[in-house]
Amino acid sequence: MTINQSGWRPEMGANADSDVATYTGNRALMLEEALIFEIGTTDTTGVDLAPAPKVASRLGGLERHTPLGLPGLSEPETVRHYTRLSRQNYAIDLGLFPLGSCTMKHNPRLNEKVARMAGFADVHPLQPQETVQGALAVIQELAVWLIELTGMYGVAMAPKAGAHGELCGILCIKAALEARGEDRPVILVPESAHGTNPATAAFAGFRVENIPATAEGRVDLAALKARLGPDVAGVMITNPNTCGLFERDMKAISDAVHAAGGYVYCDGANFNAIVGRVRPGDLGIDAMHINLHKTFSTPHGGGGPGSGPVVLSEALAPFGPIPFVSLMKDGTYKLVEEESTGELHPQTFGRMAAFHGQMGMFTRALSYILSHGADGLRQVAEDAVLNANYILRSLEDVLEAPFAASGPCMHEALFSDNGLAEGFSTLDIAKGLIDEGFHPMTVYFPLVVHGAMLVEPTETESKATLDQFIGALRSVARRARQGDEALKSAPHFAPRHRLDETLAARKPVLVWKEAELAQAAE
Partner 1 sequence: MRYLPLTDTDRHSMLATIGAKSIDDLFVDVPAEARLSGPIAGLPNHASEMAVERHFSNLARKNMAASHHPFFLGAGAYKHHVPATVDHIIQRGEFLTAYTPYQPEIAQGTLQMLFEFQTQVARLFGCDVANASMYDGSTACWEAISMAGRVTKRKKAVLSSGLHPHYVSVAKTMAHFTGDALDAALPTLEAATDADRLLAAIDDETSCVVVQYPDILGRIADLSDVAAKAHAHGALLIAVVTEPVALGAIRAPGEMGADIVVGEGQSIGVGLQFGGPYVGLFACKEKFVRQMPGRLCGETVDATGKRGFVLTLSTREQHIRREKATSNICTNAGLCALAFSVHMTLLGERGLRDLATLNHANAVRAAERLSAVPGVTLLNDSFFNEFTLKLSKPARPVVHALAAQGILGGVSLGRLFPEASELENGLVIAVTETVTEDDIEALAAALKEALA
Phi-psi sector, 360: left (phi>0), alpha (psi -120 to 50), beta: alpha
Residue 307 Cβ vs partner 1, minimum distance, rounded to whole Å: 7
Q: Is 180 in the site for partner 1 (CB under 8 A)?
A: no
Q: Is 339 in the site for partner 1 (CB under 8 A)?
A: yes
CA distance 278 to 270: 12
Stretch that binds partner 1, among 47-55, 222-230, 260-268, 312-320 (CB under 8 A): 47-55
55 vs 215, beta carbon nearer partner 1: 55
Stretch that binds partner 1, among 219-227, 309-317, 407-415, 472-480 (CB under 8 A): 407-415
46 vs 229, beta carbon nearer partner 1: 46
Amino acid code (one letter) for 453:
M
State CA 225 to chain mean position distance.
Answer: 31
State which of residues 4, 192, 200, 270 lies at the interface with partner 1 (CB under 8 A): 200
Q: Is 56 in the site for partner 1 (CB under 8 A)?
A: yes
28 vs 510, beta carbon nearer partner 1: 510
Q: Is 505 in the site for partner 1 (CB under 8 A)?
A: yes
Stretch that binds partner 1, among 165-173, 225-233, 257-265, 476-484 (CB under 8 A): 165-173
24 vs 45, beta carbon nearer partner 1: 45
Length of the chain: 522
For residue 187, report the phi and psi dihedrals to the nearest 5 degrees.
-115, 130
Residue 220 Cβ vs partner 1, minimum distance, rounded to whole Å: 16
Stretch that binds partner 1, among 55-63, 226-234, 259-267, 417-425 (CB under 8 A): 55-63
Q: Residue 149: which residues within 8 A CB-CB, separation 6 or more?
A: 275, 276, 279, 369, 377
Residue 194 Cβ vs partner 1, minimum distance, rounded to whole Å: 8
Stretch that binds partner 1, among 75-83, 311-319, 413-421, 474-482 (CB under 8 A): 75-83
* Pairing of the two strands 453-455 and 442-443: antiparallel
Site for partner 1 in 10-29 (CB under 8 A): 15, 17
Q: Is 219 in the site for partner 1 (CB under 8 A)?
A: no
x/- map, 245-284, partner 1, by CB under 8 A: xx-x-xx----------------------x-xxxx--xx-
**How many residues contact partner 1, by CB under 8 A?**
210
Residue 227 Cβ vs partner 1, minimum distance, rounded to whole Å: 16
Q: Is 329 in the site for partner 1 (CB under 8 A)?
A: no
34 vs 223, beta carbon nearer partner 1: 34
Q: Residue 34: which residues within 8 A CB-CB, separation 6 or more?
A: 7, 8, 9, 12
Q: Residue 293: which residues within 8 A CB-CB, separation 6 or more?
A: 162, 299, 300, 301, 304, 305, 306, 307, 361
Residue 260 Cβ vs partner 1, minimum distance, rounded to whole Å: 22
Q: Are 449 and 418 in contact (CB under 8 A)?
A: no
Asked, as a colleague might, if the bond just before 321 is cis with ω within 30 of 0, I would say: no
Site for partner 1 in 341-380 (CB under 8 A): 349-361, 363, 367, 369-380
State which of residues 13, 31, 106, 425 lies at the interface with partner 1 (CB under 8 A): 106
Q: Are 312 and 158 in contact (CB under 8 A)?
A: no
For residue 275, give the nearest of 258, 301, 297, 255 by alpha carbon.
297
- 10 Å CB burial of residue 294 (0-12, 13-18, 19+) is buried
State which of residues 330, 343, 422, 501 lies at the interface with partner 1 (CB under 8 A): 501
Site for partner 1 in 412-471 (CB under 8 A): 430-431, 434, 439-440, 445, 459-463, 465
For residue 310, give the nearest of 343, 285, 275, 284 by alpha carbon.
285
Q: Is 517 in the site for partner 1 (CB under 8 A)?
A: no
84 vs 225, beta carbon nearer partner 1: 84
Q: Is 510 in the site for partner 1 (CB under 8 A)?
A: yes
Q: Is 514 in the site for partner 1 (CB under 8 A)?
A: no
100 vs 262, beta carbon nearer partner 1: 100
* Pairing of the two strands 413-415 and 324-327: unpaired
Q: Residue 246: which residues within 8 A CB-CB, separation 6 or more?
A: 239, 240, 273, 274, 410
CB atoms < 10 A from the CB of 510, how many? 5
State which of residues 303, 330, 405, 517 lies at the interface with partner 1 (CB under 8 A): 303
Site for partner 1 in 222-241 (CB under 8 A): none
Stretch that binds partner 1, among 9-17, 221-229, 448-456, 472-480 (CB under 8 A): 9-17
CB atoms < 10 A from the CB of 109, how many? 7
Residue 72 DSSP class = B
Residue 375 Cβ vs partner 1, minimum distance, rounded to whole Å: 4
Q: What is the residue-wise DSSP string for 187-255?
A: EEEETTS-THHHHHHHHTT-EEEEE-B-TTSSB-HHHHHHH-STTEEEEEEESS-TTS---TTHHHHHH
Q: Is 499 in the site for partner 1 (CB under 8 A)?
A: yes
Q: Is 395 in the site for partner 1 (CB under 8 A)?
A: no
CA distance 2 to 41: 5
Per-residue 3-state assignment (H helix, E strand, C coil) for 300-360: CCCCCCCCCCEEECCCCHHHCCECEEEECCCCCEEEECHHHHHHHCCCCCCECCCCCCCHH
